Amino acid sequence: MTKKKREIFVSVDVEASGPIPGEYSLLSIGACHVDWPDQTFSCELKPITLKADPKALEISGFSLETLARTGRDPKAGMESFAAWLDGLRNADESLVFVGFNAPFDWSFINYYFHKFSGSNPFGFAGLDIKAYYMGLTGCAWGDTRSSVMDAALKPTRKSDHTALHDAQYQAELFRLIRERAAEKSVGRG
Give the tens place of pLDDT for each residue, 9-19: 999 999 999 99
Question: Among this protein's residues, is 165 annotated catalytic?
Answer: no
- Give pLDDT, residue 35: 95
Q: What rounded mean pLDDT belongs to the chain?
A: 93
Asked if residue 91 has pLDDT above 90, the reply is no
Portion of the chain with pLDDT greater than 90, in percent? 86
Asked if residue 76 has pLDDT above 70, the reply is yes
pLDDT band at 182; cut points 50, 70, 90? confident
pLDDT band at 185; cut points 50, 70, 90? confident
DSSP string for 74-100: HHHHHHHHHHHHHHH--TTEEEEEEET
pLDDT band at 189; cut points 50, 70, 90? low
Asked if residue 1 has pLDDT above 60, the reply is no
pLDDT in tens, 21-71: 999 999 999 999 999 999 999 999 999 999 999 999 998 899 999 999 999
- Give pLDDT, residue 57: 93
The active-site residue out of 33, 114, 161, 165 is 161
Q: Are 127 and 95 in contact (CB under 8 A)?
A: no
Angstrom distance (rounded) from CA 36 to CA 188: 29
Tell whether domain 6-188 is in CATH 3.30.420.10.
yes
Q: Are 30 and 162 in contact (CB under 8 A)?
A: yes
**Residues with Cβ within 8 Å of residue 124, at least 6 apart in sequence:** 110
Length of the chain: 189
- Give pLDDT, residue 103: 95
What is the pLDDT averaged over residues 84-102? 93
Q: Are 37 and 119 in contact (CB under 8 A)?
A: no
- Give pLDDT, residue 183: 85
> In Å, how far from its chain's centre is CA 16?
12
- Give pLDDT, residue 90: 84
In Å, how far are 2, 161, 169, 188 from 165, measured between CA atoms? Answer: 37, 7, 6, 35
